[in-house]
Amino acid sequence: GIQVEQSPPDLILQEGANSTLRCNFSDSVNNLQWFHQNPWGQLINLFYIPSGTKQNGRLSATTVATERYSLLYISSSQTTDSGVYFCAVSPGAAGNKLTFGGGTRVLVKP
Amino acid sequence: NAGVTQTPKFRILKIGQSMTLQCTQDMNHNYMYWYRQDPGMGLKLIYYSVGAGITDKGEVPNGYNVSRSTTEDFPLRLELAAPSQTSVYFCASGQSEAFFGQGTRLTVV
């Protein structure tokens, strides 16, 4: 099956700093999502981005499908950005059976 | 907007007991999924359904059963609970973008 690797595995940031999280995948995908899992365990949808670039406030994401990677940018980080960020992909033509990466654990210090 | 609702939120089971995790969605999605998340890991697919009456196995189906009698509901059944099934269980729905419930934290002792 498809392999998903996220880097770095851990990230410690000072409040206000910028960061880039990376997701590499081993095969072509039709779906790609970024999630934030908050300290209470809830999975929050950040981006549905099988290709191209999207922005939502301080967060933005870019997926280069032909080169099999996606990037999540966090700008002016806040303590509420702490948690685990997951990339998940699906190669299927229909449906969304997601394969998750191992996550990037982010801690933003005040 | 309820989205995907899971019950219960927490449960402790003894080895060998059975239980059903409930999942319901109000977005009229045909596609629904069950995942499990072990500590420090990403989620893994247990079962999925592409519509009422149709279910199929995911990556880690052993020890679980599902049914899909309506578009809204997709319960997950654990028979003969084992310590290896201690995990957080997430239900999701959506054909393109997936939306997740808040999870059920299950401990088998």
Optimal mutation site among B96, B99, B102, B107, interface A, most CBs of chain A within 10 A: B96
Interatomic CA distance for residues A71 and A73, integer angstroms? 6
A110 close to B (CB below 8 A) = no
- Asked if A95 lies within 8 A of B48 by C-beta distance, the reply is yes
Contact status, residue B27 vs residue B93, Cβ threshold 8 Å = yes
Single-letter amino acid code for the residue at A19: S
B39 close to A (CB below 8 A) = no
- Asked if A96 lies within 8 A of B33 by C-beta distance, the reply is yes
Per-residue pLDDT of chain A (110 residues; tens, 9 = 90+): 899 999 999 999 999 999 999 999 999 999 999 999 999 999 999 999 999 999 999 999 999 999 999 999 999 999 999 999 999 999 866 567 899 999 999 999 99
